[in-house]
Structure 1
Amino acid sequence: MNYEILGQRLRLARERSRISQTEAAQVIDVTAAALNQYESGKRRVDALT
């Protein structure tokens, strides 16, 4: 799986919902730093997240 493309899609969905990374991170119960890494493709997103 290409995690950069997944991250781009996550970011696009978040931005279309007009919520900040901090707000989105709270909803999915991760830190804002982790969400940032998911969106940049630097960290793999596990299926449960």
Structure 2
Amino acid sequence: IPRHRIVTHQQVAGDDVRGPGLGKLDPGNGFNHGRLTNFITRFLKEASS
């Protein structure tokens, strides 16, 4: 899976998709999205070698 195909909850279920005030939000500062992104990138690189 290419990294650019992995998206956040807000990107696929935000207000623009579900309607004003109905969108889902990402966990925010309590969730380290950068760390997850780095892990996924390393995992995919190792899995492909």
The answer to which structure, 1 or 2, has the higher relative contact order (CA under 8 A, 6+ apart) is: 1
Pairwise same-fold verdict (TM > 0.5): no
From the CA coordinates, give the structure whose radius of gyration is larger. 2
TM-score by length of 2: 0.32
